[in-house]
Amino acid sequence: MDNDNTNRVRLQEIKPLALSYHTPVKLIRQGDVHAEVIYMARGTSINTRKLSKTEYVVLSTGEVKEYKLTDGKHREALRKTFQNLRYLIRTNFSADDPHQKFITLTYAENMQDSNRLYKDFEDFMKRLKRHCKHHPLQYIVVAEPQERGAWHMHLMLKSAVPGLWIDKDKLTKLWGHGMTEIAQLKGDDVGNYYVAYFTSISAEARELTNNTDDPTAGNKAYIKGGRLGYYPKCFRFYRCSRNIVRPSQEDTDHGVVVDEYGKPVRTQAYELIKEFEADAEARGERFNLIQRESFRKKSVEEGE
């Protein structure tokens, strides 16, 4: 079957542009501290709409086509989903709050059934909510595959009411399938820190470095992004409670963002190059430019 989905785009990193004060950008706010700006040289005209995991419709013709999820596209889809997860974590969690928890749930057996994984988690959360009945719990849970195929889960947990505390032995009993661990959240940028933690694998043992923004940075025992290859295609690897707060988006001027947040802490710019299989003449043509800037608002202690 012919498939427009086979058309490819190559990203080529370039030197970032110096955006003017009134350059229009999209601002994505992630809580009170973090934000990201996206600048596109051209807008996009979306001509497709997703129908299911396997099919999409071409809006201009009404034709229904089938996705061909290659390994490369699978990894790219995972990277985009982890980017959304990074935004969610920044919006809802902070290492500054001692009552927010990072919980790991493991199995005593080599459990490789992804369907059972979420069923066990849902049953666990029902028991945990009954135990913490005075705390409206908010959470993000990430399913993580190990190199040998076994699953475990990482749970970022907090309460709308201060003072959440859970005994480790009680937590293990509530889980009921193996060991548990409870730790404080880490990192100046919890989104970057934990997405790096979730997506990387170690050649030997997992040993965190002193870099609070990326536990894998500078550590040769880590393979950054190496865990992405262990996730099954079309697997929903993270979930969150209904009361979790979503990042907000707005259109604004670049200078307005700088006035509020200060200079960006990270900037990346890319050309989008056409690599269409069907159109040899268009191959290699640049059709857009995207620049992303990450901002972190300074605290009063850090100074303006």
202-252: per-residue pLDDT in tens? 444 344 334 445 555 555 444 455 556 666 677 788 999 999 999 999 999
Structural element, H or E, at residue 60: none
Coil/strand/helix, residue 271: strand
Give pLDDT, residue 149.
74
Contact at 8 Å (CB) between 25 and 292? no
- Among the residue ranges 104-118, 146-160, 196-210, 264-278, the one predicted with the least confidence is 196-210
Q: How many domains does one find in the chain? A: 2
Contact at 8 Å (CB) between 77 and 68? no
Question: Is 170 domain-assigned?
Answer: yes
The residue-averaged pLDDT of 149-156 equals: 91
Task: Provide the domain limits for residue 114.
Answer: 91-240
The yes-or-no verdict on residue 123 having pLDDT over 90 is yes
Give pLDDT, residue 204.
40
Q: Tell me which of 192, 218, 240 is where a domain ends.
A: 240
CA dihedral for 158, 164, 169, 173, sign (positive or negative): negative
Question: Is 304 domain-assigned?
Answer: no
Query: Do 110 and 228 share a structural domain?
Result: yes
Give pLDDT, residue 60.
53
Q: Tell me which of 240, 267, 288 is where a domain ends.
A: 240
Query: Do 234 and 110 share a structural domain?
Result: yes
State the Cα–Cα distance between residues 219 and 282, nearest whole angstrom: 42
CATH number at residue 101: 3.30.70.1910
Query: Do 122 and 224 share a structural domain?
Result: yes
State the Cα–Cα distance between residues 55 and 52, nearest whole angstrom: 5
Query: Do 142 and 38 share a structural domain?
Result: no
Number of Cβ atoms within 10 Å of the Cβ of 194: 25
Question: Is 302 domain-assigned?
Answer: no
Question: Is 303 domain-assigned?
Answer: no
Query: Do 122 and 30 share a structural domain?
Result: no
Query: Do 188 and 58 share a structural domain?
Result: no
Query: Do 156 and 104 share a structural domain?
Result: yes
Query: Do 253 and 172 share a structural domain?
Result: no
- Residue 190 phi/psi, 5-degree rounding, is -65, -30
